[in-house]
Structure 1
Amino acid sequence: MNRALIVVDVQESFRQRALWRAVNNPQVVARVGELVAAARAAGDLVVWVLHAEPGSGTVFDPASGQVRLIDGLVPEAGEPVLTKTSHNAFTTTNLQQLLTGRGIREIVVCGIRTEQCCETTARVGSDLGFGVTFVTDATATFPSPHWSAPADLTVEEILADPRTLPARAMVERTEYALAGRFATIATVAELTAGMLTRS
């Protein structure tokens, strides 16, 4: 085993936010599930990562009860479940040590949000020397309000604002930023076919 699937922040916290109804990839949980099944069949390590903001009083505060995997995703025995407080999955966890201790040299990144925690994890992983595959269609994100927009906009106001960056543009930008620099871009179908062939 020299490859690990890193599942980033596929957690109930996101489903509790109003913006969830504008998610660009409603099938993200099913697609992550496909990757998990293929990784297990290939003998790859699956690492689950959750994002927490202790004391924030938000849905990312562990006290909310929402910092847990979305229903349908269940770690198997021996699969690490890490909790991070930074955008990437490395800085505030022992992920790097866990991977290097097991001789893992390649990581596959999927999860929520495409341009934020997933992209940042891919960038840091690459800088740490791991080969990175980024599975865009097993990630999800949301339209992004303009940086100067008020923080309390409703979903309808966000979507109506012409300055809002559509999720498709965010995903495209992430792929352009990662490809050839930090990661190889792949689809679920491409990656699962390769995993099953290798196993």
Structure 2
Amino acid sequence: MQALLIIDMQKEMQHRIDSGRDHVDPQAPARIAALAAAFRAQGRPIIHVRHRDEDPASPFHPLAPGYPAMPCAQDRDGEPVFLKRTSSAFASTDLQAHLHARGITDLVVTGAVAGFCVNSTVRAGADLGFRMTVVRDAVLGFDLPSDRLSARTVFDVTMALLAADFVEIVDAASILSA
């Protein structure tokens, strides 16, 4: 069985975009919303992952304005929400057990951030035997200003490394038309 996995689409991502931070892909939230609507219409599972940090100074602290889900990633109708404290959604949650208990073997991955939590989660999922598909144009990527790496460079290298050995990379249109 296949499920949609939405990673870390929290308001902090929108705050980064609104602040002018170099990023890829500004249409990702709309594509995530479209994918979620399609999965819901077909009765297929959607799983949400959010980052939670207990440090009060963190934008992912539960009381921080960046913590809530973006509108495109609001959970509905009992869709599970896993709160992680690590980069990988598998390392600090019971996501793996949840997937196995429901017979979910394939994950369609969207969300943020390409070079970090999406990357870590996808690699861990592949290592655990899940079939991982990344929806390239439904993933946000940001720059690494301290290393003077553009968002496009980080994103393209991340996708290329994932495609080389871990996952299938597709566009939202191919999932929506399937």
TM-score (norm 2): 0.92
Give, in whole Å, the separation in 2 of the partners of 1:173 and 1:72: 26
Aligned to 1:179, the other structure's residue is in SS state helix
8 Å CA contact 1:16–1:59 kept in 2: the answer is no
Aligned twin of 1:70:
70
Change (3 A) 1:182 1:72: closer
Is structure 2 residue 168 aligned with structure 1 residue 169? no
Within a 5 Å distance, the mapping from 1:1-199 to structure 2 comes to 2-17=1-16, 20-22=19-21, 23-147=23-147, 164-194=148-178
When residues 24 and 84 of structure 1 are mapped into structure 2, their CA distance, relative to the original with a 3 A threshold, is same
Q: Give, in whole Å, the separation in 2 of the partners of 1:139 and 1:20.
A: 18
Hey, what's the Cα distance between the residues in 1 that align with 2:81 and 2:162?
26
Shift of 1:54: 0.7
SS at match of 1:135: strand
Give the 3-state SS of the residue equivalent to 1:63 in structure 2: coil
- RMSD value over aligned CA atoms? 1.7
**Deviates most, 128-137 or 17-26:** 17-26
Q: Which moved more, 1:82-91 or 1:9-18?
A: 9-18
Report the 3-state secondary structure (helix = DSSP H, G, I; strand = E; otherwise coil) of the residue aligned with 1:38: helix
Separation (CA, whole Å) in 2 of partners of 1:111 and 1:45: 16
- Structure 1 residue 67: deviation in Å? 1.4
Structure 1: 5+ residue stretches without partners: 148-163, 195-199
Q: Is the 8 A contact 1:12 1:69 kept in 2?
A: yes
Residues 19 and 142, structure 1, Cα contact 8 Å, conserved in 2: no
Instruction: Measure, in 2, the Cα distance between the counterparts of 1:45 and 1:7.
Output: 11
Q: Which moved more, 1:75-84 or 1:98-107?
A: 75-84
Distance 1:20 1:183, change over 3 A: farther
The separation in 2 between residues aligned to 1:131 and 1:180, in whole angstroms, is: 14
The alignment of Structure 1 onto Structure 2 pairs a total of residues equal to 177
Larger Cα-atom Rg: 1
CA contact (8 A) 2:89 2:117 kept: yes
Give TM-score, length-normalised by structure 1.
0.83
* Aligned partners of 1:20 and 1:142 also within 8 Å: no
Deviating more after overlay: 72-81 vs 115-124: 72-81
**Structure 2 unaligned regions, length at least 5:** none
* Percentage identity across paired residues of the two chains: 33
- Matching residue's letter, 2:90: F
Distance 1:40 1:16, change over 3 A: same
